Structure 1
Amino acid sequence: MNRRNPVVARLALGVLVASAWTDPSAARQGDGEDWARVVEDDRAITIETDLIEAVIPKNSPKHWMTGIEKGTFLDKTTGFREAGDGLMVIDWLMEPGSDAEWQEQVFAPDGDGVGRYTWFENETDPARREYALMAHGSSHRKRMVEGPQLCHRMKPVEPEVIRGDDFVAVRTTYRFEYAAPGRTPGSRWTQLIVFPKGERYFVLMDRVDSVNDSPELFLRNDTPGCVRHEQGDTFSEMYLSYLGGPDGVRIPSGEFFNPFPPDLKFGYRRDTHRVPEHFIRAYHLRDPETGADGPWLAGLTLDPSVVYEAWCSQRPGGIIVMIEEIHGRPTKAGESFSAAHVVGYFDDIEAMHEVYDRYEGHTGLVVDEGGWRLVGSTPTPGE
């Protein structure tokens, strides 16, 4: 597919004044902006555009604290919602290696239980060890650099809402609170989400400003998100553009009826695979009551070279884990890295690739006085 210049949305911004939860019509700002409404209360921010709806939690989430809240991403065209635990959920800052020697030393500073990432290398309980192997595999050891695990240990946040004539944007930032022995806490994570008018998708950037050196620092997330199912009742097939040849691979739901670890099948590693032209992960939604197919829900990582490792594995308990790790390169304190994604609903695989062609090659996302735009590198601080 030919590389094209991106379509750039550049219109004047207005700052949305947050309101308490009231009649939704009260959240509409200004003339000619009925295509979108934003309602903010103490717990969350609700975004409703002409084609999609989503909720971004501030505290007390339904499931995870980061990304789009579980069960809230609605496709108005078809009435379908995501089938997992939320979208673009963020985890740890990590690097290759084992934490077996010091895993007992890493605790959440607020005393809220143990805040460590562990492979249970010294675990003697067979059930716990089996779960660790099913969840993480055994072929590529990794360890935490900084925590907490943001998805469920992040404290309340106050996202910034920015609005333009044809988009709504939400920016969330958080500093990691503790670090592995010999490391410094305080790296900053920023997630910027843009909801464009007239689209069934949003554009998102995750960025890290590191305070540590690392030989291969990476950020772990779910792209687009996990899938909850019982014998394939919520989806009919999976699509991975980067496996199975130039056209990708379509995997029937039956491949996920029994648990398997991430390093057994459907895995990708930048050091063992060819970097693909497009990096798309999608699942074909299915109505669990009627069995009828719905739209595809896809996550497009716009620069394939930023993907360090990704897997699509079935854990015990009816959940397909769609973990993706970004960057995984030598990083010095004071340096930054980012990845840009498009996440949303598509009628078919061809439509995913058409949108990918429109935006490909970018790792950064900027909202400023000119509107929003994708950029080819990590934005400088303040952008």
Structure 2
Amino acid sequence: MGYLTSSGYKQGPGLLSYAVVALVSAVIGGMLMLTLAPGYIASRAGIIGQTSATGDPGNSPPPWPTPTIDLTGDWPAAAVAEAVGPTVVGIIGETTAVDWFSRAYTEIHGGSGVVFRQANGYSYVGTNQHVVEGANKLYVVMASGERLAAELVGEDWWTDLAVLRVADTNLPVAPLGDSDLLKPGELVMAIGNPVDMEFQRSVTVGVVSGLNRKVSYSDEREFRLIQTDAAINPGNSGGPLVNMRGEVVGINNMKIATEDIEGMGFAIPINLARIVLDDLVTFGRVIRAYLGINIVSAADARRHGLNIAGGIYVTRVVPQSPAQRAGIKAGDVIVRIDDEELSTLGDLRRVLDLHRPGDEVTITLQRSGQTLTVKATLVEAPAETG
């Protein structure tokens, strides 16, 4: 689980008063939930059709499965957990480390994953890149406790996604939904293995607290995530965020944890994850669109004495690139691609990740006090190039 800040426990006065308030709140909240929640969830629940995957061009996988969930009970979330839970697996990674005396030993770390495809004799598991990073050996742990050797198919640091595969086609596959249809306040469920395998397939229920939340690790690496108050803890990384139709709408990957903040978990939207996971299965890497420029952020440009209010400053244009063919020059300030405003390298990467090679984009830039609009046709990025 990636933390933006560290968490800790804080003990203070008034413990008894807190306990009384908590007990009363729990009773009132429980009565309201029992009265209101079943009808609300049932009204939101439904079954939608299949959506197709990109798959291997030479051997297209079957369509994404459609959830079949019995929503006739008093608490439909239980039916959703029962249907999706078997598709969630534990992931164990073994990494070789060296102690102070130069003796090698094995470190064990773990997380969660979700089976999203079967093809060519394998079941494919989606998870977070930080769950598998640096592992010498990887295992997938089933609900029965059975441990299967897993192979890393591909990983993508930029989106924090990775794919494993196991030589077993009997694993249940999770249906993938449409994260663009999510709304704030919508009920969602997180399933995973918090802390360790002792608490595997723990289920927590909450709501979508926000959408398109910008979370940056640096000027380069930026995420646009689903925010939820469904509890997400260390070990939940890579597990699914599920809607009340029983569809995976996100891949859990981080939370904000400080003594002042509670209930801020985040998940990668499945519409982005689907593209990345498909590419990792088919090519072993992500096929990215490429413009062909080197840039610095507006903030960095101002620190170096350039007077620009926003946008990204072009320091170099790669010869024979889409940018050069479009007429972009060093010294230009790109303020927008299509309808997306830019101010950092992370913004540029995020916008390019929304496109595929061959797409045409409209670029708005400033040059010598004038605003210009040019069009560029993106190409496939060279390997290891953003």
Say which structure is richer in helix: 2
Fold conserved between structures, TM > 0.5: no
Which structure has more RCO (C-alpha within 8 Å, separation ≥ 6)? Answer: 1
**Rg (Cα) greater in structure:** 2
> Into which bin does the TM-score normalised by the smaller protein fall?
under 0.3
Calculate the TM-score normalised by the size of structure 1.
Answer: 0.26
